């Protein structure tokens, strides 16, 4: 009996899987522009003359009860696949034109703000001597670093962005130059997808767009159609298209991607092609049973051992009781 109790205590003390601490659910900081002559309260909007330097100030408030370190970055506006302008890092941009990030600089890439404190962050802009033509869109993008003490579990790294809209004194053409290229077929776990790049090469924001994208085969049969309304494109940005196909396989041949855009009186009809050298099928993951947690196996085995030992103990006790002489 003593050995069985010892075994049960060892099982109860056995180290189980590590509990993941719940990640924070709020940002615990705010970011606001404090440029007095900006034309819009929610973001910075300015027109600057040639050969001008300007400091833009932002108020970064750490609302947490401990100091926090933030990563700072000036990002260029991009266009998402849903036809919306966004302000996040790591998006492809046309390389032939100047962008906001090339005009801006930061004193340091990071800043540490004490608890419950507001600190000023400054973005320095420098307009070249030749001046600027059109629109330059971007944002001050601030992301809070994960606390150094947090070594386990999921950690949210919250980010905020305040847009910056800089306009040159020289107006640009009212009709942006758009191109469609790099059409290709991709096979994914979710099916076949046709990708392409729709590029706005002009420093002019383009909005109120109705966009219809189609993919057809060599015989003219339409394989897919996607329609976006009230779409917009940031100045000098690339919109990545991803058009899913219902077909599970695609035969060899030449295929056409057509994108028609309408905004007011402006209409674009853009075409690109891709070729499938040999029949392509969508990748399938199949039905995969997720592997069981190894601790479940350990716990089940130990529970079985304890159950057997308790059963043997009970049977031994019953046998002893039956063999006890009655008086």
Q: Are residues 42 and 132 in the same domain?
A: yes
Q: Are residues 33 and 132 in the same domain?
A: yes
Asked which of 266, 281, 296 is the last residue of a domain, the reply is: 281
Number of domains in the chain: 2
Check whether 235 has a pLDDT greater than 80: yes
Most confident of 90-104, 140-154, 259-273: 259-273
C-alpha to C-alpha distance for 139 and 241, rounded to whole angstroms: 23
Residue 40, CB-side half-sphere exposure with 13 Å CA sphere:
11
Q: 324 in a domain, yes or no? A: no
Contact 229, 210 (CB under 8 A): yes
Q: 287 in a domain, yes or no? A: no
Domain span holding position 230: 178-281
- What confidence tier does 156 reach under pLDDT thresholds 50, 70, 90? low
Q: Are residues 89 and 44 in the same domain?
A: yes
Check whether 325 has a pLDDT greater than 70: no
CATH number reported for the structural domain that contains residue 145 in this entry: 2.60.40.10
Q: Are residues 52 and 115 in the same domain?
A: yes
Q: Are residues 98 and 72 in the same domain?
A: yes
Q: Are residues 62 and 127 in the same domain?
A: yes
- pLDDT tens digit sequence for 172-193: 888 999 999 999 999 888 899 9
Convert 41-88 into a string of H (helix), E (strand) and C (coil). CCCEEEECCCCCEEEEEEEEEECCCCCEEEEEEEEECEECCCCCEECC
C-alpha to C-alpha distance for 271 and 242, rounded to whole angstroms: 15
Kindly state the tokens that stand for 110: 């990071």
Cross-strand bridge partners of residue 31: 60
Q: 290 in a domain, yes or no? A: no
Q: Are residues 96 and 226 in the same domain?
A: no
- pLDDT tens digit sequence for 68-106: 999 999 999 999 999 999 999 988 777 767 889 999 999
Q: Are residues 95 and 53 in the same domain?
A: yes
pLDDT value at position 285? 38
Contact 50, 129 (CB under 8 A): yes
C-alpha to C-alpha distance for 310 and 276, rounded to whole angstroms: 67
Q: Which of the residue ranges 90-104, 166-180, 222-236, 239-253 would you say has the lowest mean pLDDT?
A: 90-104
Between the alpha carbon of residue 11 and those of residues 6, 23, 37, 298, the distances in Å are 9, 30, 69, 10
- What confidence tier does 317 reach under pLDDT thresholds 50, 70, 90? low
C-alpha to C-alpha distance for 155 and 169, rounded to whole angstroms: 45
Q: Are residues 33 and 162 in the same domain?
A: yes
- pLDDT tens digit sequence for 7-29: 443 344 444 333 333 445 567 89
User: Beta strand pairing status for 44-47 and 159-167?
Assistant: parallel
Residues 257-261, mean pLDDT to the nearest whole number: 98
Backbone torsions φ then ψ of 131, nearest 5 degrees: 85, -175
């Amino acid at each position: 009996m003593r050995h069985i109790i010892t075994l049960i205590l060892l099982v109860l003390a056995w180290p189980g899987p590590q509990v993941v601490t719940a990640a924070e659910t709020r940002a615990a900081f705010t970011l606001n522009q404090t440029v007095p002559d900006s034309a819009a309260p929610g973001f910075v909007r300015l027109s600057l003359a040639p050969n001008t330097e300007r400091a833009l100030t932002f108020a970064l408030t750490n609302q947490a009860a401990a100091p926090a370190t933030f990563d700072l970055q000036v990002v260029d506006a991009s266009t998402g696949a849903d036809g919306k302008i966004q302000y996040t890092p790591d998006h492809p941009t046309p390389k032939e034109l100047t962008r906001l990030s090339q005009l801006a600089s930061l004193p340091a890439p990071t800043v540490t703000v004490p608890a419950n404190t507001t600190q000023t962050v400054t973005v320095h802009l420098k307009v070249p001597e030749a001046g600027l033509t059109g629109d330059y869109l971007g944002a001050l993008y601030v992301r809070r670093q994960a606390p150094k003490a947090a070594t386990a579990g999921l950690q949210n790294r919250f980010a905020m962005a305040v847009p910056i809209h800089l306009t040159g004194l020289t107006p640009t053409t009212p009709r942006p130059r758009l191109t469609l290229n790099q059409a290709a077929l991709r096979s994914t776990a979710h099916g076949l997808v046709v990708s392409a790049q729709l590029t706005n090469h002009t420093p002019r924001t383009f909005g109120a767009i109705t966009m219809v994208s189609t993919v057809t085969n060599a015989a003219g049969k339409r394989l897919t159609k996607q329609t976006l309304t009230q779409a917009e494109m940031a100045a000098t940005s690339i919109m990545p298209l991803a058009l899913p196909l219902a077909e599970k396989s695609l035969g060899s041949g030449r295929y056409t991607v057509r994108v028609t855009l309408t905004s007011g009186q402006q209409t674009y009809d853009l075409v690109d092609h891709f070729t499938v050298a040999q029949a392509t099928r969508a990748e399938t993951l199949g039905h995969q049973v997720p592997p069981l947690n190894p601790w479940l196996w350990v716990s089940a085995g130990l529970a079985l051992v304890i159950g057997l030992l308790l059963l043997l103990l009970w049977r031994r006790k019953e046998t002893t009781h039956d063999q006890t002489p009655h008086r």
